[in-house]
Amino acid sequence: MNLSINLGGITYAFRDLKELFAKANEQKSGDELAGIAAETVQERIAAKAVMSDILLKDIRENPLIPYEEDEVSRLLDEDLNEPIYNEIQHWSVAELREYILRLDVTNTELRRMSKGLTSEMIAAVTKLMSNMDLVYAANKIEIITTCNSAIGQRGTLSSRLQPNHPTDNIDGIMASLKEGLAYGVGDAVIGINPVDDSVESVKRVLHATKEFMTEWQVPTQNCVLAHVTTQMKAIRQGAPADMVFQSIAGTEKANRAFGISIELLKEAQSLIKKQGTSAGPNQFYFETGQGSELSAEAHYDIDQLTLESRNYGFARHFNPFIVNTVVGFIGPEYLYDSKQVIRAGLEDHFMGKMHGLPMGVDICYTNHIKADQNDNENLGVLLAAAGVNFIIAAPMGDDVMLNYQSMSYHDVPTLQELFNKRPAPQFERWLEKMGITENGRFTSRAGDLTIFEK
């Protein structure tokens, strides 16, 4: 395995794959904060050139975190499809990129081949791709999942309705929920981030959303994004939850900081299967985001893109209904400005799709990052072109509870119209029945909350 190259009379040598992976990454403030980023553009180019010749088997045989030290590493290797891996193990990373981007390679072929790739292999090929490569490749891949309803069909763009409230006031949540539905938002999930992570608060919100969904026959899913252990207690006490949520990370140590383990998530999966209120089979919702391992001091000197890819390998094991990266939420320490956020959003979406995941993105930024709403909209357009399964929307694009900016309710139908996409089929039929849309277009009743008065 060659880890050096001479470019322009200068030799660039990398001590191991961990250093090579970090230096081949696009510029990220998180990698710079960790002290592992390429020091110059020339060094980054050299690292990419070396990376292109690395064989897939070299990546597997030189794990970035040893299997005996990390349960995520063990899970990723154990889940690998050995016969498919054996077919491609002698490919270089450059050859993998060329295969993914070939015009004649189909969704079915990519889905099959991806089962023989580890998360680190997917991270490696991502580093060699341009933004347009990431858009083009991700758009090839169709991932359909089912909870109460099915999303992810080609030609659709779904959305998470996020009616958060700064005091968990049920009336406030329900007013925002009705507005979102009246704009055709919410076919992926009605998902609320609670201020109060208590069992009683979670139960109240789950009951309120489920009762509304039942009364108005809304074909979607409900979820309260409390810690998984809180949700499990609420479910055991009879709360109507369609799926279980949890934020995850790419190392065992970072997951421990989140208060989770593989064993705990398997327990939650068994519980939601037996006591959840959806038909399934997909009943997990995971959130991720580049930089979470570094913020937990659990990154092992690995770059944040590669750790994010390991998130998706971890998520793949649990066959989730939806996964999304909260791409600009953690802050400028990890993604400094809009250029880095846009790049990370496209990377995360592609890597999730390459893992066979129903991938969404919370297109967002915090007020101390160098970005604005125009940057959000730019990423929204790119992701819609890339075939993202769903995006997240909050009232006026401003989450008053989490204090960050996202996409707005009206951004979802705007992107659908621009790209000739529709909501999920069941949800679209419901919108037609409610008079919100007609022949795929909004009627004058769109956005009118009185639709939900009897």
- Tens of pLDDT, residue by residue over 13-37, are 999 999 999 999 999 999 999 999 9
pLDDT digits 0-9 by tens, 152-171: 999 999 999 999 999 999 99
Cα–Cα dist 54/192, whole Å: 44
Rounded Cα distance, 178 and 364, in Å: 22
| Statement: residue 454 has pLDDT above 90 | no
Q: What is the pLDDT of residue 15?
A: 97
Q: How far, CA to CA in Å, does 307 sit from each of 39, 109, 127, 187, 263?
A: 20, 26, 13, 30, 20
pLDDT tens digit sequence for 311-352: 999 999 999 999 999 999 888 999 999 999 999 999 999 999
Q: With H, G, I as helix, E, B as strand and everything else as coil, classify residue 408.
A: strand
Nearest to 386 by CA among 325, 317, 308: 325
Beta carbons of 378 and 148 less than 8 angstroms apart: no
pTM score over 0.85: yes
Q: Alpha carbon 360 to chain centroid distance?
A: 5
Q: What is the pLDDT of residues 226-250, one digit of tens each?
A: 999 999 999 999 999 999 999 999 9
Q: Are strands 150-151 and 437-438 parallel, antiparallel or unpaired?
A: unpaired
| Confidence band for 440, pLDDT divided at 50, 70 and 90 | confident
Over the stretch 70-125, which tens digit does the pLDDT of each residue have? 999 999 999 999 999 999 999 999 999 999 999 999 999 999 999 999 999 999 99
Is the pLDDT at 367 greater than 90? The verdict is: no
pLDDT recorded at residue 156: 98
pLDDT, position 400: 87
